[in-house]
Amino acid sequence: MSTVVKNQLRVCLLSVKYNIMRAMVNRVAFLMNILFMILNNASFIIQWLILLGLKPEIGGYTLREIMLFWGLAASSYGLANIFFARAFSLPNLIISGKLDSFLVQPKSVLLSVITSATASSAIGDFLYGLAIICAFCFSVQRLLLFLLFAVTGAVIITAFAVLMGSLSFWFVKAEVFGSNMVNSTINFSTYPDGIFDGAARFLLYQVIPVGMAIYRPVHVMISFDLTELLMVLGYAVLLSAAAAFLFYRGLRRYSSSNLMEARI
Amino acid sequence: MNAIEARDLSKTFRVKQKEKGMAGSLKAVFRPKLQEIRAVDQISFSVEEGEMLAFIGPNGAGKSTTIKMLTGILFPDEGQVEVLGIDPVKNRRKLAYEIGTVFGQKEQLWTHLTPYDNFRFFGAIYDIPNSDIETRIRELADTFDLGSFLNTPVRNLSLGQRIRCEITASLIHKPRVLFLDEPTIGLDPVVKESIRELIMRMNTELHTTVFLTSHDVGDIEKLCRRIIIVNGGRIVLDDSMEHLKSHYLHRKHKENAQPSEVTLESIITEIYKAQSLQHPEAPEPGMEV
Amino acid sequence: MRKYMVVYRSVVMEHLQYGAQIAVGFISYFIIIFIQIYLWNYMYGESGALIAGYTKQQMIWYVMITEIIWFGTRTTTVTKQAAGDIKNGNIAYMINKPYHYALYILTKYTGEWSIRLPIYAALAGCMGMLMVGGLSGFRPAALIAALPVMILGVTINGVFKLSISLISFWTEDSNPFQWLYDKLLLVIGTIFPLEVFPVPLQPLFKMTPIYTVCYGPAKLLVDFSREKYIEILLAQALYLACGLGVLFLLYNRGVKKLYVNGG
């Protein structure tokens, strides 16, 4: 590993570590955030119990498989918000000119920015996902796959957030649009893909990255398929590259921007 | 070689306007109005290595915008900059290893962690190996007397101690140029004095070039031998402190004023006022660009 | 009372500027309803049978209306801002002002939803007509009758959310409680009507504020009946009184604590 990458990684990890240390200063609030987030997620089990009470199978899935969707979505989203929480508030940083302090540092601006915060409740999300897997459909192979896909899912969701957030470099009003798109990934990922067809399916696999972040991985976990697994990995790399490209293009614009709002 | 070299720097901003009342709100929805403000207008100057320069001006004069262009945060619309021979626009990252920045109103420290933890973090940012960073922290803590609160969380420090740490953190990588944007803002006179001492010691012992903006005349008078005054985006004065004072003393002498009435404060106020008469449509006060 | 009107007017004015942004926020609403339409299409299948006494159209319109309430009232004023004021000590400066802090925040909240809610309602109405079709047997009179129920429901929601924020006087972070309230609202009253739950649970849910916040207005709009109307109005009056009681109690206790401990 080259020293540049190593130094960069060291800074990122230190940043996340300090974020968590900061959150832990108030121990009660920290633990409450985690615990209540778990309860929060668990409340949706009620929704599915009710729906499955009305119909024994939804989109070809029973409770066990639907919980896989939920678990993977929670853990991916959790990981993304433990390591890259700032990716989700990127527009705010861009619009209020808060990238300045990152620009005077000799490190990757993108990585420094997105690792500069951690949502402590995200730890609850991650743990909830793990608990769901262990409770509803445990096997060693599945757990390993689950961990791998939680990472790729986190990368895909983060990259998508960066991609959407970077739109704010060009359009101030893009903030609301971007955050709506990102939220929609979360909304979709907690419903099984079997209920969607036609245009909706196209949307989920081609426009919003839910298909690659959640649906395909769940298929692989239900019945293993190497090609699908490789597709997910490739997609994660590709989307990250696209996100980095757009962000740095935007950053040049940020530095040469003439809008006062961004610079006071 | 000059530490800083700026030629014909210019930057223009656009500001949104809104007319008063409900009608104005409605109008702004459909047709937002933009007003152009020339924040920096053809500024040229150079700073020698090891120099301490005061770069001052009233609010909205273009000080911060200039600093941002010198550090690579903002790109100039026109003109060239070189800091230590490096172009901030093309080589921002390379430049970052060589310069330090302290913005008095913005914190860069992690407030829930100790100065020691913070220094470790900044050390990592500038690729200082863990073995070296311990010695560096000890060195800086000795030079600037931080020993007594090195392990106290920053949020429990007094404002003065916090600023000392801010400045120290920006020195961790031995920068050759340090940009200080109002480092003594909101501090009491005693603490101000100790911060000035720290800056002084840094300049003499580490030979750091200092680019200082401040509204505090004391800072300028005690630290800098040269002063640049900007107003309305332009340089209105670039002179040595000594020359500036003697020049005004001389003029006041002709007007039969007492020498004791001619303070740096009064000189600067006079220059600010004279300039704002010339530029009646200068940006509204309170807008720090 | 006049000063609250001025506050209300200023907030409405300020919020008008964000009209376009609020409309963009409709994307999220659209996507959620989009999912719900697929979900209920799947659940009802081709049979055209009733689920829990609702036709497919009624079910989807029910969800659309409750989500309008959810989105229309989604401002941070009663949550983050109020909790923030308490946490960072700003409240100490605000309690000395010549208005009641809690009422000031509620006024601000009202100003915000009176811009947001109509925008969402209009857009959602169009979306519903296009994607779901009009409700059979819907009378415009029901809309007018349900209006006060809607306003009361939204107000009760604000009172409860603000009360939860006031917990910040005692704990560092009231956010987790906010999530729980939200989830209760979402799972019990928003994503499907009360009647879907097992019969023994229903009376229990009727005693929660959710019944008056989202179930009430939505139920009356999709399936109006005079008995329900009176029942829900009574429940709302009761809940508003209780909610305000809790709010003022928490507020006064909190302020007293502030005076004793100095913030």
User: What tokens appear for A233 in the block?
Assistant: 């990995």
The residue of A27, A179, A184 whose CB has the most chain C CBs within 10 angstroms, and thus the best one to mutate to test that interface, is A184
What are the backbone dihedrals phi and psi of residue A106, each rounded to the nearest 5 degrees, phi first? -85, 35
C173:A32 CB<8 A: yes
Q: Which amino acid is at B35?
A: Q
What pairing do the DSSP bridges indicate for beta strands B33-48 and B2-17?
A: antiparallel
User: Predicted confidence band at C240 (pLDDT cuts at 50, 70, 90)?
Assistant: very high
Interatomic CA distance for residues A254 and A170, integer angstroms: 9
Which chains have 3 or more CB–CB distances shorter than 8 Å to chain B? A, C
In this predicted structure, what is the pLDDT of residue C126? 94
Please answer yes or no on whether B121 and A261 come within 8 Å at the CB atom.
no
Q: How many alpha carbons lie under 13 Å from residue C33 in its C-beta half-sphere?
A: 29
List, for residues A182-206, the tens digit of each pLDDT value. Answer: 988 888 998 999 899 888 888 888 8
Domain boundaries, chain B: 2-16+39-108+170-278
Going A180 to A182 to A187 to A191, the CA torsion angle's sign is positive
Output the CA angle C24-C26-C28, nearest 5 degrees: 110
Residue-wise burial string across B226-265, b where 16 or more C-beta atoms lie within 10 A, e elsewhere: bbbbbbbbbbbbbeebeebbeebeeebeeeeeeeeebebe
**Beta-carbon count within 10 A of B91 CB:** 14
Residues 6+ away with beta carbon under 8 Å from C122: none
Q: In whole angstroms, give the CA distance from residue C239 to residue C244.
A: 8
CA distances from B48 to A236, B82, B170, B199 (A): 49, 12, 20, 17
Burial (CB count within 10 angstroms: exposed 0-12, middle 13-18, buried 19+), residue B212: buried
Q: What is the pLDDT of residues C87-136, one digit of tens each?
A: 888 888 888 888 899 999 999 999 999 999 999 999 999 999 999 888 88
Please choose, from the candidates C218, C151, C161, the residue with its C-alpha nearest in 3D space to the C-alpha of residue C184.
C161
- Residue-wise pLDDT tens digits, C196-211: 999 998 988 888 888 8
| Nearest CA among A129, A96, A102, A128 for reference residue A115 | A102
The residue ranking higher by pLDDT, B2 or A242, is A242
Q: What number is the average pLDDT over the span B163-177?
A: 90
Question: B8-62, pLDDT tens digit by residue?
Answer: 999 988 777 666 666 766 666 666 677 788 889 999 999 999 999 999 988 888 8
Strand ranges across the sheet with B2-17: B33-48, B2-17, B78-83
Number of residues in chain A: 264
For the ranges A41-50, A225-234, C242-251, which has the lowest average pLDDT?
Answer: A41-50
pLDDT of residue A133: 93
Say what the pLDDT of residue C147 is.
92
* Residue B278: band (very low, low, confident or very high) from pLDDT cuts 50, 70, 90: low
* A243-255: pLDDT as tens digits: 999 999 999 988 8
pLDDT at res. C262: 56
The pLDDT of residue A49 is 92
Q: What is the mean pLDDT of residues B216-237?
A: 89
**Between residues 71 and 90 of chain B, which touch chain A (CB distance below 8 Å)?**
71-75, 77, 89
Rounded to a whole number, what is the distance in Å from the CA of B128 to chain A's nearest CA?
9
> Is residue B104 predicted with pLDDT exceeding 80?
no
A259 exposed, middle or buried (CB, 10 Å; 0-12, 13-18, 19+)? Answer: middle
Q: How confident is the model at residue B284 (pLDDT cuts 50, 70, 90)?
A: very low
CB B13 within 8 A of CB B39: yes
Q: Give A8's DSSP letter.
A: H
Whether the per-residue pLDDT at A157 is higher than 80: the answer is yes
Instruction: Give the tens place of pLDDT for each residue, A1-30.
Output: 688 899 999 999 999 999 999 999 888 889
Mean pLDDT, all residues of chain B: 84
Which of A213-227, B99-113, C125-139 is most confident?
Answer: A213-227
Is some CB atom of chain C closer than 8 A to the CB atom of B23? Answer: no
State the pLDDT at residue B25: 64
Mean pLDDT across chain C: 89
**Average of per-residue pLDDT across C251-256:** 91
CATH topology of domain B2-16+39-108+170-278: Rossmann fold (3.40.50)
How far is it, in rounded angstroms, from Cα B250 to Cα C14? 55
CA C187 from centroid of its chain's CA atoms: 14
Backbone torsion region of residue B21, taken as left when φ is above 0, otherwise alpha when ψ lies between -120 and 50, otherwise beta: left
Angstrom distance (rounded) from CA C151 to CA B56: 56
pLDDT score recorded for residue A259: 57
CA distance A57 to chain C (A): 10
Question: Which pLDDT score is estimated for B51?
Answer: 93
Q: Provide the mean pLDDT of chain A.
A: 91
B202/chain C closest Cα distance in angstroms? 36
- Max avg pLDDT among A140-154, B54-68, C194-208, C209-223: A140-154
How far is A71 from A48, CA to CA, in rounded Å?
13
Going by C-alpha positions, the residue among B109, B104, B86 that lies closest to residue B175 is B86
Residue B17 in contact with residue A261, Cβ under 8 Å?
no
- Say yes or no for a CB contact (<8 Å) between A58 and C42: yes
Comparing CB atoms, the residue among B18, B21, B29 nearest residue C20 is: B29
Strand partners, B6: B45, B81
pLDDT greater than 60 at residue C44:
yes
Q: Which helix (H) or strand (E) holds A80?
A: helix A63-83
Domain ranges in chain A?
3-262
CA-nearest of A141, A126, A124, A121 to A71 is A126
* C-alpha to C-alpha distance for A244 and A87, rounded to whole angstroms: 12
Please write the tens of the pLDDT for every residue from A25-39.
888 889 999 999 999
Rounded to the nearest angstrom, the gap between the alpha carbon of residue A77 and the centroid of all alpha carbons in its chain is: 4
Lowest mean pLDDT among A28-37, A112-121, A217-226, B213-222: B213-222
Reduced to 3 states (helix: H, G, I; strand: E, B; else coil), residue B42 is strand
C-alpha–C-alpha distance, residues A126 and A82, integer Å: 9
Neighbours of A, requiring at least 3 CB pairs below 8 Å, are: B, C
Of the candidates B89, B113, B127, the beta carbon closest to that of A21 is on B113
Using the Cβ of C19 and the Cβ atoms of chain B, whether some distance falls under 8 Å is answered with yes
Looking at residue A85, its pLDDT comes to: 96
How far, in Å, CA of B15 to CA of A259, rounded? 7
Nearest to C41 by CA among C56, C58, C30: C56
Q: Do A256 and B75 lie within an 8 Å CB cutoff?
A: yes
Q: For residue B83, what are the contacts with CB-CB under 8 A and spacing of at least 6?
A: B3, B4, B5, B70, B71, B95, B98, B99, B177
Q: Which of A35, A180, A191 sits opposite C28 (nearest CB)?
A: A180
The whole-number pLDDT of residue A205 equals 86
If we measure between CA atoms, which residue out of B152, B163, B157 comes closest to residue B193? B163
Which of B221 and C262 is assigned the larger pLDDT?
A: B221
Task: State yes or no: pLDDT of C1 exceeds 90.
Answer: no
Highest mean pLDDT: which of A71-80, A189-198, B104-113, C67-76? A71-80
Q: What is the mean pLDDT of residues B98-126?
A: 88
Residue pLDDT, tens place only, B176-192: 999 998 888 888 888 88
Q: What is the pLDDT of residue B279?
A: 53
Q: For residues B13 and B289, is the Cβ–Cβ distance under 8 A?
A: yes
**Percent share of chain C, pLDDT over 90:** 54
